[in-house]
Amino acid sequence: MTKRSAGLLLYRRADDGPQVLLGHMGGPFFARRDAGAWTVPKGEYEPEETAWDAARREFQEELGLAPPDGEAVPLGEVKQTNGKVVTAWAIEADLDPATVVPGTFEMEWPPKSGRRQEFPELDRVEWFGLDRARELIVPAQAAFLDRLAEHSDL
């Protein structure tokens, strides 16, 4: 069965063009990576939950903040190289990254050590212009940036 994730891509208008809020994936696998290690705040959901409800829930879980209200611009779906299908919506909102209180996950680390450690879901959250965001985001998710740029009132 295909894993599915849903998320919210916040955007804001700046003098030099739109900016998007991305999160750097937490944990030891991404600690030293930048390109391809940034993502739309998102998470997996089960078939009994709608993608929209999951996107809002995951925003709260990943960032520790209530999802913003506002018009949601559907950005559609992308399929990542791992086979996961991600659905996203863009919402215009401003958020201070310093207010984020990331959720955490637990995993065995180092591998085969028997020790379990806790890591933040997202270890950093930052605003980026679309060009810089394209350089950093998980490659398949770059389509969301392109679709947002096509949005008529940006």
| DSSP 3-state of 107 | strand
**Residue 31: which residues within 8 A CB-CB, separation 6 or more?**
123
How far, in Å, CA of 144 to CA of 123, rounded?
Answer: 22
Q: What is the pTM of this model?
A: 0.94
Q: Is the pLDDT of residue 1 over 90?
A: no
Q: What are phi and psi of 148, to 5 degrees?
A: -65, -45
- Sign, CA dihedral 69-102-130-88, equals negative
| DSSP 3-state of 15 | coil
Q: What are phi and psi of 67, to 5 degrees?
A: -65, 145
**Residue 16: which residues within 8 A CB-CB, separation 6 or more?**
129
pLDDT of residue 28: 92
Average pLDDT, the chain: 95
Mean pLDDT of 13-22: 95
Q: Is the pLDDT of residue 81 over 80?
A: yes
pLDDT band at 151 (very low <50, low <70, confident <90, very high): confident
Closest CA to 44 of 35, 53, 31, 36: 53
Q: Is the pLDDT of residue 76 over 90?
A: yes
pLDDT of residue 152: 65
Cα 56 to Cα 64, 91, 93: the distances in Å are 11, 11, 14
Closest CA to 5 of 89, 64, 92: 89
